[in-house]
Amino acid sequence: MSLQWEPAWKTIIIEVDGIKLKVQKDEVTGLLACPICGLGEKATYFFSERDLIKHMISHKSRQSRHYIPKEVIIGEEEN
Ligand SMILES: [Zn+2]
């Protein structure tokens, strides 16, 4: 018996501040996975889109060259 849950990842589109992002959401727990960290051992999970975005912005300050991968961003609205 494992203590780990078995996630049912589904790709969803979230939109925060006019930026649409393609992220993985676990339909079992509702957790969102950071698309930059990925789903492997380095995965980072969030319950809210806001927290996920904050985390993704922190990637930018840590490693600006590896900010949000282009394939993750679906569209960006002009403000
Ligand atoms: Zn991350």
The number of distinct structural domains making up the chain is 1
Per-10-residue mean pLDDT, the chain, length 79: 77 86 93 90 91 86 64 70
Rounded to the nearest angstrom, the distance between the alpha carbon of 51 and the centre of ligand 1 is: 11
Q: What is the pLDDT of residue 47?
A: 94
Q: What is the pLDDT of residue 46?
A: 95
Task: For residue 2, tell me if it sits in a domain.
Answer: no
Task: For residue 4, tell me if it sits in a domain.
Answer: no
Q: What is the pLDDT of residue 26?
A: 94
Rounded to the nearest angstrom, the distance between the alpha carbon of 74 and the centre of ligand 1 is: 18
Work out the angle at residue 27's Cα, subtended by the Cα atoms of residues 22 and 30, and round it to the nearest 5 degrees: 80
The residue whose two tokens read 């985390």 is 55
Rounded to the nearest angstrom, the distance between the alpha carbon of 78 and the centre of ligand 1 is: 25
Whole domain around residue 55: which residue ranges? 9-76
CA distance 9 to 25: 5
Task: For residue 37, tell me if it sits in a domain.
Answer: yes
Task: For residue 1, tell me if it sits in a domain.
Answer: no
